[in-house]
Amino acid sequence: MIDPAKIRKDFPILSRRVRGKPLVYLDNAATTQKPRAVIESLVSFYERHNANVHRGVHELSEEATNLVETTRAKVASLIGARHAHCVIFTRNTTESINLVAHAWGRKFLKEGDEILLTEIEHHSNLVPWQMIAREKGVKLRFIPLAHDGTLDVDSARQMLSPRIKLIAFSALSNALGSVSPIDKILAMARSIGAKTLIDAAQWAPHRPIDVRAWSCDFLAFSAHKMLGPTGIGVLYGKEDILEAMDPFLGGGDMIRQVFLDHSTYNVLPYKFEAGTPNIADAAAFDAAIDYLRGVGFDEIERHERALLGRALSVLGSMPEVEMYGPKDLDRQACLVSFNIAGLHPHDASTAIDLEGIAVRAGHHCCQPLMAKLKIPGTVRASFYLYNTLEEIDLLAAAVSKAARFFKKEEAIA
Ligand code: PMP
């Protein structure tokens, strides 16, 4: 069983005080804190191994190259990819999805085709498709939000047609915490021969991934949401599809031979990694994966279930709190999204911040979802392996204080 007190000792920032109180960090869906091993790995890279990769034959360059390639192999094993060369390093989930939209979408989509997304997508898995749809004359369709905060896959079945060339969806919603019916959506895609892209930005930090079991065509996630550094993300793609795609960016490293009038391209994964990559952060991502594996995803899931259970019960029992999402431990994970009656989410989160508690407020990069729910946004408290049940209680106390304060203000007015 996870002992958060022990785990917290590995995260230097968690001993900080904020607004005169011990920091309660509940904004993990935005980015997570980093264990000492990741911070030390970054420092060690710059102190001992710093050089450019895949270029020099000198010792330092070989060391730097080995560090990046070791992480690539570790990511491949983490997600069950058969080949490390199917793991492409990007800056983040956003860049990974843009890479697919531009390099796959431009080449393989044509006028009249359709892309099926969902109403709960993060802007990262919506705007790139809008851009490519406008350029290519492609229609976007959407799996609707169901009344219980999950996805209405049954009504999506009626939309299925051979015109749909891609189904792109998030495995876990960053705005509601709802777990998508991943297997059902993948089966729908298979039934019409559509390619699939899973936005695993929120899933990868919390649950295991097996791309071979899912048999998805693309998968995207960010290191910074799973204890790793910022600036390093992953795109996994099936080998034959990546081979068939043209490069996204042109420049150094992604070429084999360059002539004045044309070039030939490098092999995977380098074809998609133009220019000097984010070497230090790729190297340090390795330590984050080791840390997560050391704790174990089963343990992480069990701990987060306990945190979510407590949050749903304490916040759910407050009459002034409205919760969004499934509110069910089997269909929701890792976060709660709510509003306090009469308070704008930004004001609520400012009041919560005064107690030293970091939550996020706003539309969470899901404006269409907020429009559908007819709200300006929500307050989101998102958990990770170092959070404690006591911190959930502190959040509940801060929410209750904010609600009481607002009621008093209202009475005075
Ligand atoms: N998709 C989802 C579901 C997310 O939660 C996020 C980050 N909030 C992203 C995509 C984008 O991730 P990044 O900012 O690291 O590119």
Same domain, 284 and 307: no
Tens-place pLDDT, residues 63-87: 999 999 999 999 999 999 999 999 9
The answer to whether residues 164 and 180 belong to one domain is yes
Indicate if the pLDDT at residue 412 is higher than 60. Answer: no
**Domain total in the chain:** 2
**What residue's CA is closest to ligand 1, atom 5?**
174
DSSP bridge partners of 236: 87, 219
Q: Domain of 56: which CATH number?
A: 3.40.640.10
Outline where DSSP puts E strands in 105-238. 114-118, 139-143, 164-170, 195-199, 218-222, 233-237
What the block records as the tokens of 167 is 């189904």
Q: Closest ligand 1 atom, CA of 94?
A: 16
Distance, CA of 39 to CA of 259 (rounded, Å): 42
Distances, alpha carbon 85 to alpha carbons 73, 214, 224, 240, 242, in Å:
8, 19, 22, 12, 10
Of 387, 403, 404, the C-alpha closest to 7 is 387
Residue 133 has pLDDT above 70, yes or no: yes
pLDDT bracket for residue 96 (50, 70, 90)? very high
Residues 239 and 165 in one domain: yes
Question: Could you list the residue range(s) of the whole structural domain that residue 391 is in?
Answer: 4-26+297-412
195-244: per-residue pLDDT in tens? 999 999 999 999 999 999 999 999 999 999 999 999 999 999 999 999 99
Query: Quick check: is 43 in a domain?
Result: no
Average pLDDT rounded to a whole number, residues 325-353 = 96
Q: Tell me: the pLDDT tens digits for 163-201?
A: 999 999 999 999 999 999 999 999 999 999 999 999 999
Per-residue pLDDT, 394: 98
pLDDT at position 411: 61
Cα 310 to Cα 304: distance, rounded to the nearest angstrom: 10
Based on the domain organization, do 263 and 309 belong to the same domain? no
User: Which tens digits make up the pLDDT trace of 135-149?
Assistant: 999 999 999 999 989
Q: Is the pLDDT reported for residue 55 higher than 80?
A: no
Q: Which atom of ligand 1 is nearest to the CA of 93?
A: 16
Residue 200 in domain: yes
What does R_g of the chain's alpha carbons equal in angstroms? 22
Confidence of residue 391 (pLDDT cuts 50, 70, 90): very high
- Global pTM reads 0.97
How far apart CA 370 and CA 373 sit, in angstroms, is 5
Residues 219 and 132 in one domain: yes
Q: Tell me, in angstroms, the distance from the centre of ligand 1 to residue 94's CA.
A: 6
Same structural domain, 96 and 222 = yes
Does the CB atom of residue 201 touch ligand 1 within 6 A?
A: yes
3-state helix, strand, coil in the chain (%, to 5): 45, 20, 35
Is residue 222 within 6 Å of ligand 1 at its C-beta? Answer: yes
Query: Confidence class of residue 381 from pLDDT cuts 50, 70 and 90?
Result: very high
